[in-house]
A and B are shown apart, each in its own frame.
Chain A
Amino acid sequence: MEALKQFFMTAPVDPATFAQSLWLIIALPLLGAFVCGVFGKMLGRGNVHLIACATVAGSFVLSVLAFWSVSHVQGGTPVAMESVYSPNAIRYAIGYDYGTWFSVGTFRVNFGLLVDHLSGTLLLVITGVGFLIHLYSTSYMEHDDGYWRYFAYLNLFVAAMLTLVLADNLVLLFVGWEGVGMASYLLIGFWYTDAAKAWAGRKAFITNRIGDFAFLIATFLIVLLVSAFNSQANVANFTTVSGAAETAQVRFREGQQLKGPVAFQGLEVLANALPQNAKVNAQAAVTLETPIAEGPLAGRTFGGVLTVALLLFLLGAAGKSAQFPLYVWLPDAMAGPTPVSALIHAATMVTAGVYLFSRMSFLLVLSPTAMTTVAIIGTITSLLAALIAFAQDDIKKVLAYSTVSQLGIMFMGVGAGIFWAAVLHLVTHAFFKACLFLGAGSVMHGNADETDIKKLGGLRHEMKWTWGTFLVATLAITGIVPLSGFFSKDAIFHGLHHNHLHGYESVTHALYYVGLLIAASTAFYMSRAYLLTFEGKRSPEAKIAHAHESAWQMTLPLVVLAVLSVVALVYALPLMPGRSGPQPVMENFLGPVFASAERIAGRADLVKLDHSVPGFGDYLFAWLVALTGGAAAAFLYMKYFPAQVGKPAPAFARSVRRFTQNKFYVDEAYEFLVIRPVKNVSGILYKLVDTLLIDTVAVRGTAWVTARVGSALRYVQTGDAQGYAAVMALALLGGAVYALIQVLQ
């Protein structure tokens, strides 16, 4: 055991040496995208498959090495990165700064990459699950002519997502953020000859743009906030950062000049140096309640600007992670190929919002308002999506709404301050949701692209591998006891129940009970999808009489993912020694990342983070909730409904079902409330400004005036001597009249 521990704690490559090669993790899939995209057609199917899979596999190997390096312990000291912002090195992190990317005046952005336990975990998920999905795609897309385009996009997506995760500042993160948005647009609209699918791509793109706009404004606000802090803070502000406050201040200023104001390390120091109020640090010049003295934000308090920036980040995250006002694109995104749904819409891109808030946890804990909003938005999204999923008949739509719902649960975790549980749920969800999506793809593949679960059924015996893995993943997402989904979800709900956001205690308690409802709903609709697809008899409406099992390239990823979604439970078990009793593995593991957030939360009375471990009773209760939901679905769809066949359903049931099936008419409401007014206003503006003002008055008007003046002045130059003489005569007359008037006066 000790030898094994030693093995895992000794990186095969020296971390400092390896850090310089971090860029390769991004560059490999990017190279793959380039080669597949430009030469793909000439290379042929086999070579494209090889290149696309190999580059991602290479990234995976490098990610493993990076992850290993991060856990490197030499002589009892963990690997530590020199921080330019504070005298304390960053524990359990490696990073490398490739120099200035661009700078404008005092504003500067560096191309810096950073791997700590959080981004390391994400790296493994992205490249690991990404590789399995690449492998799966080689079989799934075997009949598609655009295979080279598909793999180029897929590689591009992985590269963008890796940029997002590796970035050590907000601007580079935004590059990845935009990159995944673009790649997802390309992939959703992959079959662009089908108008509906192209539209789905556009919808995703535009909805994401709304969020990205908010993200940008928030970034600008942060930049302004940092510069305001620079001019107002004094040494006493930095006493909280480290022992020697003056050194800390000097280093912070130097770091700002070296790496710019948007680097995460700098923001972390800033968050540490911003006490909540004068009670916490009486000498500090700047607290959350201090008004900003000068600049565009003059008069606003630091805390207020921070809250606004975080809320804008929330809107940005809502776009990418399909949260409440902007979730509508995700279910439509199922128009793309199924592996894409698994890669983008379950495992990676949509978790970017959760990652962003985990990355900035130190800022988030400074604003209970923002945290509460995040939690409320997550809850609303989760409940709404779960209710909509009740009546969807398309298997991919059910899974899509279930993803939206699970993402909502992650946001609840982030909002309540249980960051480690949110990240754990992100990881376990990546495993079982990717497994579910790929399973659905396998079902479609074996059933002539049938997606209606009412027209499937009885696949249990025909597609054994798909059935087994789908069952495991369903049980995981439902929250049945020995599987990972149960533990990660329950950790979030437990924290929601016990954490305190000061001023909003009642809100989190209410959210906990909604969370129970969500858990039961999840169990219900997932069981329904599973039962209708795999159990019972084969539907008489099925397209083909016998389904066939898919090739090994498809079943192997399914098995791997199913195994992973079971074994990931280890991370939720309280096996590690903590300061107050045993600690879950994941919480211990992510400890260095969230240390700042813990410290800031512990220092003041804004947020109280709870570290209690769920007891046996809690587990039993959560288990019963999930079991109730699943049992209700089993009773309804195995016993009750089959017995009612032939009898007309009551009118109210039908109307409720129609209402749910139409997604609560949210799309229609958006159409009515947002899209139609915007269209009308732009129509009026088009008529008024474009057609009238610019076309008629400005463009044609200028031409008209010139032509008129020209035709009038033409008479001046006829070459007619008499005409000229007439002009002279008139001038003479004028002179004479003038002289006469002068004389007479």
Chain B
Amino acid sequence: MVPISYYLILAAALFCLGMFGVLIRRNALVVFMCVELMLNAANLTFLAFAKQNGDLTGHVSAFFVIAVAAAEASIGLAIVIAVFRSRGTVNIDEIRTMKH
């Protein structure tokens, strides 16, 4: 059996990739994809620990994360489309509306 640390290292690598993507990328869609990546890294750790402990808590958590992420992605995509319609771009450098 593969030791748990391998799963955790993989999850950490995925999380970091996603995080850097969120921090660096300009395109809102790519940023969303990177957020998904981070969530999946988290799911991976949940599942790894669930397997190790031999109970279902981790599975349930992962299930909820996926469900919430799907809902969030649908709303986020709706916002991105609305922003694209009004501004003609999804470059997050140019849509700093949180300033006000």
Binding site for B on A (CB under 8 A): 717-722, 724-726, 729
How far does the alpha carbon of A518 sit from the alpha carbon of B38 in the complex, in Å? Answer: 110
Interface residues of B in 1-58 (CB under 8 A from A): 19, 22-24
Task: Say whether, besides A722-B22, A725-B22, A726-B23, A717 and B92 are in contact (CB < 8 Å).
Answer: no
Across the interface, do B100 and A719 meet the contact criterion of CB distance under 8 Å? yes
CB<8 Å pairs between A and B, sample of 25: A717-B99, A718-B96, A718-B99, A719-B96, A719-B97, A719-B98, A719-B99, A719-B100, A720-B93, A720-B96, A720-B98, A720-B99, A721-B92, A721-B96, A721-B98, A722-B22, A722-B23, A722-B24, A722-B92, A724-B98, A725-B22, A725-B23, A726-B23, A729-B19, A729-B23
Quote the shortest CB–CB distance from A731 to chain B (angstroms).
Answer: 12
Residues in B with CB closer than 8 Å to A721 are 92, 96, 98
Quote the shortest CB–CB distance from A723 to chain B (angstroms).
Answer: 9
How far does the alpha carbon of A717 sit from the alpha carbon of B97 in the complex, in Å? Answer: 12
Interface residues of B in 60-100 (CB under 8 A from A): 92-93, 96-100
Indicate the size class of the contact surface on chain B. Answer: 10 to 19
Residues in A with CB closer than 8 Å to B97 are 719
How far does the alpha carbon of A721 sit from the alpha carbon of B90 in the complex, in Å? Answer: 13
Residues in A with CB closer than 8 Å to B98 are 719-721, 724
How far does the alpha carbon of A69 sit from the alpha carbon of B92 in the complex, in Å? Answer: 102
Quote the shortest CB–CB distance from A466 to chain B (angstroms).
Answer: 91
How far does the alpha carbon of A721 sit from the alpha carbon of B100 in the complex, in Å? Answer: 13
Residues in B with CB closer than 8 Å to A726 are 23
Quote the shortest CB–CB distance from B11 to chain A (angstroms).
Answer: 13
| Interface residues of chain B: helix, strand, loop or mixed (majority) | helix
Apart from A717-B99, A719-B96: 19 A-B pairs, beta carbons within 8 A = A718-B96, A718-B99, A719-B97, A719-B98, A719-B100, A720-B93, A720-B96, A720-B98, A720-B99, A721-B92, A721-B96, A721-B98, A722-B22, A722-B23, A722-B24, A724-B98, A725-B23, A726-B23, A729-B19
Quote the shortest CB–CB distance from A744 to chain B (angstroms).
Answer: 15
Residues in A with CB closer than 8 Å to B93 are 720
- Which B-chain residue is minimally distant from A719 (CB atoms)? B99
Quote the shortest CB–CB distance from B68 to chain A (angstroms).
Answer: 19
9 closest A-B pairs (Cβ-Cβ)?
A: A719-B99, A719-B96, A719-B98, A726-B23, A725-B22, A720-B96, A722-B23, A729-B19, A725-B23
- Which A-chain residue is minimally distant from B20 (CB atoms)? A729
- Which A-chain residue is minimally distant from B99 (CB atoms)? A719
How far does the alpha carbon of A363 sit from the alpha carbon of B30 in the complex, in Å? Answer: 100
Residues in A with CB closer than 8 Å to B24 are 722
Residues in B with CB closer than 8 Å to A724 are 98
How far does the alpha carbon of A724 sit from the alpha carbon of B98 in the complex, in Å? Answer: 10
Residues in B with CB closer than 8 Å to A719 are 96-100
The winner among B23, B92, B93, B97 for most chain A CB atoms within 10 A is B23
Quote the shortest CB–CB distance from A232 to chain B (angstroms).
Answer: 77
Residues in B with CB closer than 8 Å to A725 are 22-23
- Which B-chain residue is minimally distant from A733 (CB atoms)? B19
Residues in B with CB closer than 8 Å to A718 are 96, 99
Quote the shortest CB–CB distance from A695 to chain B (angstroms).
Answer: 37
How far does the alpha carbon of A720 sit from the alpha carbon of B92 in the complex, in Å? Answer: 8
The winner among B92, B96, B100 for most chain A CB atoms within 10 A is B96
How far does the alpha carbon of A724 sit from the alpha carbon of B99 in the complex, in Å? Answer: 11
Residues in A with CB closer than 8 Å to B92 are 721-722
How far does the alpha carbon of A718 sit from the alpha carbon of B98 in the complex, in Å? Answer: 8
Quote the shortest CB–CB distance from B52 to chain A (angstroms).
Answer: 18
How far does the alpha carbon of A573 sit from the alpha carbon of B65 in the complex, in Å? Answer: 125
How far does the alpha carbon of A726 sit from the alpha carbon of B22 in the complex, in Å? Answer: 9
How far does the alpha carbon of A720 sit from the alpha carbon of B97 in the complex, in Å? Answer: 8
Residues in B with CB closer than 8 Å to A729 are 19, 23
Quote the shortest CB–CB distance from A735 to chain B (angstroms).
Answer: 14
Quote the shortest CB–CB distance from B23 to chain A (angstroms).
Answer: 5
How far does the alpha carbon of A721 sit from the alpha carbon of B22 in the complex, in Å? Answer: 9
Quote the shortest CB–CB distance from B10 to chain A (angstroms).
Answer: 17
Quote the shortest CB–CB distance from B31 to chain A (angstroms).
Answer: 8
Residues in A with CB closer than 8 Å to B100 are 719
Residues in B with CB closer than 8 Å to A722 are 22-24, 92
How far does the alpha carbon of A330 sit from the alpha carbon of B92 in the complex, in Å? Answer: 84
How far does the alpha carbon of A722 sit from the alpha carbon of B95 in the complex, in Å? Answer: 11
Quote the shortest CB–CB distance from A736 to chain B (angstroms).
Answer: 10
How far does the alpha carbon of A725 sit from the alpha carbon of B97 in the complex, in Å? Answer: 15
How far does the alpha carbon of A459 sit from the alpha carbon of B85 in the complex, in Å? Answer: 111
How far does the alpha carbon of A724 sit from the alpha carbon of B23 in the complex, in Å? Answer: 9
